[in-house]
């Protein structure tokens, strides 16, 4: 059932608008509890077929992925993933591949997503897209499938490696990175898995 009407802003539109135009909150639409594409993925039994869900940001990301054979994609409706959305997804799969835009904002959103998903016991993977790409454009590039095979990684090692391999960090930045790593590790539900990651890094 339709709960709202939304879209993506066309290139050349006044920059006062964001990337997506989202419906207003109402009695039937609460963006923190809706995952775009979820109904289609469930109907196609896509989570079972692919063994995971692909979490992206927006509507056109989901549409392009579904059109290109990845009908297990869902979107958090142009906003950061919420705990309510993650719990909804947990009903259908235990494994999520987080795929955000290849820019600084996408990296920050990815970290927030991973923290929420780990806390709910998901197996979490990440696909860090090339700079300037988003899932919509990249999955239509012709080499998306090959890129997925070569670049998808477990989320926690990927993030920890990024935190501790950054060059030219001063003491304050190192302390901040240690805090970020600690906040990430404490959210892992399995004590055994947490110890494995801690020993690795």
24-71 tens-digit pLDDT: 899 999 989 999 999 999 999 999 999 999 999 888 999 999 999 999
State the pairing for strand pair 95-98/20-21: unpaired
CB atoms within 10 A of CB 54: 28
Per-residue pLDDT, 78: 63
Res 95 pLDDT > 90: yes
CA dihedral (9, 15, 18, 22) positive or negative? negative
> What token pair was written down for 121?
């016991």
> What token pair was written down for 45?
């039994």
């Amino acid at each position: 059932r339709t709960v709202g009407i939304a879209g993506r802003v066309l290139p050349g539109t006044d920059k006062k608008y964001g990337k997506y135009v989202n419906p207003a909150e109402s009695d039937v639409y609460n963006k923190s509890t809706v995952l775009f594409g979820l109904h289609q993925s469930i109907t196609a039994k896509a989570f079972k077929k692919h063994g995971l869900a692909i979490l992206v940001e927006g509507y056109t990301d989901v549409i392009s992925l579904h059109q290109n054979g990845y009908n297990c994609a869902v979107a958090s409706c142009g906003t950061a993933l919420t705990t309510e959305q993650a719990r909804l997804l947990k009903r259908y799969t235990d494994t999520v591949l987080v795929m955000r835009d290849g820019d600084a904002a996408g990296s920050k959103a990815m970290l927030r997503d991973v923290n929420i998903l780990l806390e709910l016991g998901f197996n979490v993977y990440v696909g860090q897209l090339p700079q300037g790409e988003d899932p919509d454009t990249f999955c239509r590039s012709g080499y998306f499938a090959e890129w997925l095979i070569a670049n998808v990684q477990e989320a926690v090692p990927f993030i920890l490696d990024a935190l501790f391999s950054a060059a030219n960090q001063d003491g304050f930045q190192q302390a901040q990175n240690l805090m970020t790593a600690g906040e990430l590790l404490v959210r892992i539900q399995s004590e055994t898995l947490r110890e494995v990651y801690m020993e690795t890094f």
